[in-house]
């Protein structure tokens, strides 16, 4: 957690901002600050000195301390890229190259795993720092709230929580385009296989909703016995059961949409066990890239354009959005058609 001095420093700054303090306004006396924040004179002196060194206050010995500038420098000097996993050296290098190509080569990029972020609160909360979250889980929202309370600019990559600035995959435009291909090549009766939305897969809320909206708009025929939205505790077993259900019917499905990358290969494997293959017997639309099946007849893939999502960090910084203005951007997937298309 933050050191006592850093915590008090951030509280003083937050209170000044909340009360609309302007350049030239005096701040409360040291004695008043000690009583308000229940801390020692030494802690207050250190906090005020830090704020003066950062350009927020003007403090001279023996004189009243005044506000100098509540926004002395909105430029980002250090960007912390936070992920839920270790070993992101390759990703960090890609991000540095993207920033360099955009003429933002003076920003230091530091990678952190969310599991150890508590050890770095103090340094992250200093002025001139910002955070980019790469596909953060919902369990990190309380940390985002903490950073927001301490005025740390944040950008969420491929996730959308609360009113935080974000860059996400455009589910509606992407699925609408993919579904257009599926209806055109496989017919109007669409089968959906999707992992249910939840705390571990929050992005599925938008994607499943986008599917139903697009299906209605494009005149797809939906039936309850062709909709499989599950938690998938045992993927091979449950996918095999779904395949048996579908492929033992008098009329097998001709247009199948799978929302869940980890279920695609098991489904194709299960279909082959019934003597059926994509392209010859049905068309398959997949949200995400599955490399072993790339270029396979009858399988259309929707590639998330992560390189474009990372480039939006550059635009966020260059446009000055890191200064606090909400930033929202959506990136459509690239539709990878099968060979016959």
DSSP 206-224: HHHHHHHHHHHHTT-B--G
Cβ neighbors of 134 (< 8 A, separation 6 or more) are: 81, 82, 83, 91, 157, 158
Asked if 190 and 179 count as a contact pair (C-beta separation under 8 A), the reply is yes
Cβ neighbors of 303 (< 8 A, separation 6 or more) are: 288, 289, 333, 334, 335, 336
Would you give the DSSP letter of residue 302? Answer: E
Please state, in angstroms and rounded to a whole number, the distance separating the CA atoms of residues 284 and 278.
6
Please list the pLDDT of the chain residue by residue as tens digits (341 residues). Answer: 567 888 888 889 888 888 888 888 899 999 999 999 999 999 999 999 888 877 788 877 777 898 877 766 667 888 999 988 776 677 777 777 777 676 666 788 888 898 888 888 888 887 788 999 999 999 999 999 989 887 789 999 999 999 999 999 999 999 999 999 999 999 999 999 999 999 889 999 999 999 999 999 999 999 999 999 999 999 999 999 999 999 999 999 999 999 999 999 999 999 999 999 999 999 999 999 999 999 999 999 999 999 899 889 888 887 665 555 689 999 999 999 998 76
The class (CATH top level) of 4-67 is mainly alpha
pLDDT at 88 (0 to 100): 66
Q: What is the pLDDT of residues 238-283, one digit of tens each?
A: 999 999 999 999 999 999 999 999 999 999 999 999 999 999 999 9
Residue 105: exposure state from Cβ atoms within 10 A (0-12, 13-18, ≥19): exposed
Do the domains 171-303 and 78-164 match in fold?
A: yes
The class (CATH top level) of 171-303 is alpha beta
Nearest C-alpha neighbor of 175 from the set 218, 136, 134, 137: 218
Q: Which CATH number fits the domain 78-164, given the four candidates 3.40.1350, 2.60.40, 3.40.50, 2.30.30?
A: 3.40.50
E-assigned strand segments in 144-282: 154-157, 166-169, 190-195, 227-230, 255-259
pLDDT at 127 (0 to 100): 76
Q: Where are the domains of the chain?
A: 4-67, 78-164, 171-303
């Amino acid at each position: 957690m933050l050191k006592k001095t850093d915590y008090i420093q951030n509280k003083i700054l937050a209170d000044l901002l909340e009360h609309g303090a302007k350049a030239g306004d005096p701040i409360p006396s040291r004695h008043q600050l000690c009583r308000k924040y229940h801390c020692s004179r030494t802690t207050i002196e250190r906090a005020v000195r830090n704020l003066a060194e950062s350009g927020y206050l003007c403090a001279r010995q023996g004189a009243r301390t005044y506000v100098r500038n509540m926004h002395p420098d909105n430029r980002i000097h250090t960007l912390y890229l936070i992920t839920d996993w270790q070993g992101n050296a390759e990703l960090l290098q890609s991000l540095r190259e993207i920033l360099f190509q955009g003429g933002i080569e003076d920003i230091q990029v530091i990678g952190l795993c969310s599991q150890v972020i508590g050890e770095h609160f103090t340094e992250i909360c200093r002025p001139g720092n910002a955070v980019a979250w790469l596909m953060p889980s919902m369990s990190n929202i309380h940390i985002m709230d903490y950073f927001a309370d301490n005025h740390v600019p944040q950008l969420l990559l491929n996730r959308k929580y609360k009113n935080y600035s974000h860059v996400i995959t455009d589910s509606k435009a992407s699925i609408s385009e993919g579904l257009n291909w599926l209806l055109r090549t496989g017919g109007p009766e669409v089968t959906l296989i999707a992992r249910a939305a939840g705390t571990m897969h929050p992005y599925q809320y938008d994607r499943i909703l986008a599917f139903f909206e697009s299906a209605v708009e494009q005149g797809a025929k939906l039936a309850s016995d062709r909709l499989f939205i599950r938690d998938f505790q045992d993927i091979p077993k449950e996918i095999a059961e779904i395949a048996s259900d579908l492929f033992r019917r008098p009329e097998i499905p001709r247009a199948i949409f799978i929302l869940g990358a980890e279920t695609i290969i098991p489904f194709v494997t299960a279909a082959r066990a019934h003597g059926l293959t994509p392209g010859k017997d049905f068309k398959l639309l997949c949200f995400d890239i599955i490399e072993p099946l790339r270029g396979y007849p009858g399988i259309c893939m929707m590639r998330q354009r992560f390189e474009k999502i990372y480039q939006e960090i550059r635009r966020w910084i260059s446009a000055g959005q890191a200064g606090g203005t909400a930033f929202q951007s959506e990136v459509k997937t690239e539709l990878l058609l099968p060979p016959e298309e």
